């Protein structure tokens, strides 16, 4: 892993992210290899997420002040789309004990993305650790597409475990994994 030259991490407020929303969504589309129209579809959702309890966002910037990585999330709760989807899937597969264990007092890591040209330099892990540092919940949950990827290697390396595997969210044909781990995280090695 090569060091990220002159990269800085900055906690972003909702107004900071709003000012760079186009850039952040372009990063998201590039990192996920989504079609270009995805950014316009996601913008209202990202803006609504900024209003949720416990919302936090961290951006990684290069030496030209370009956004090369972003991560955000918030406190998950009953009634939120993702929470209800995961609760339903977890209930069907593992039952109410697993729902009770995972689906309360958690931080939903909603987005974590690094531009392809900036990957492999530790940016994702630094974003993840900075975002989760000081989160006031006892665990973190996320969903990621199934299959080998840099994201999978990162999540496993920092201690995420399976919560729900091969789950299909409404409106997306791909299988997803829901992963979780306790907080706080151990310091980086």
C-alpha span between 175 and 165 (Å, rounded) = 8
Q: What is the pLDDT of residues 46-55, one digit of tens each?
A: 999 999 999 9
Measured in Å, how far apart are the chain's first and last C-alpha atoms?
14
Instruction: List, by residue number, the catalytic residues.
Output: 155
Please state, in angstroms and as integers, the Cα–Cα distance from residue 83 to each residue in 16, 80, 171, following that order.
26, 5, 15
Q: What is the pLDDT of residues 90-137, one digit of tens each?
A: 999 999 999 999 999 999 999 999 999 999 899 999 999 999 999 999
Residues in the chain: 189
Q: pTM of the full predicted structure? A: 0.94
| Cross-strand pairs, 161 | 180
Element at 31 (helix H, strand E): helix 21-32
| 83 CB neighbour count, 10 Å cutoff | 17
**All structural domains of the chain with their residue ranges:** 8-182
Could you tell me the fold of the domain covering 8-182?
A: Aminopeptidase (3.40.630)
């Amino acid at each position: 892993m090569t060091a990220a030259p002159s990269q800085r991490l900055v906690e972003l407020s909702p107004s900071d992210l709003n000012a760079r929303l186009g850039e952040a969504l372009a990063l998201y589309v590039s990192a996920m290899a989504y079609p270009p129209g995805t950014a316009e579809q996601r913008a209202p959702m990202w803006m609504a997420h900024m209003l949720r309890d416990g919302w936090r966002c961290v951006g990684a910037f290069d030496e030209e002040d370009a956004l090369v990585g972003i991560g955000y999330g918030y406190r998950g709760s009953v009634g939120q789309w993702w929470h209800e989807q995961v609760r339903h899937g977890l209930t069907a597969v593992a039952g109410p004990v697993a729902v009770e264990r995972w689906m309360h007092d958690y931080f939903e890591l909603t987005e974590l993305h690094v531009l392809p040209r900036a990957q492999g330099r530790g940016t994702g892990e630094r974003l993840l650790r900075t975002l989760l540092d000081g989160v006031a919940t006892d665990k973190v949950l996320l969903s990621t597409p199934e299959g080998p990827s840099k994201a999978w290697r990162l999540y496993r390396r920092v201690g995420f475990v399976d919560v729900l595997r091969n789950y299909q969210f409404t409106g997306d044909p791909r299988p997803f994994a829901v992963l979780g781990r306790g907080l706080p995280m151990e310091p980086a090695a």
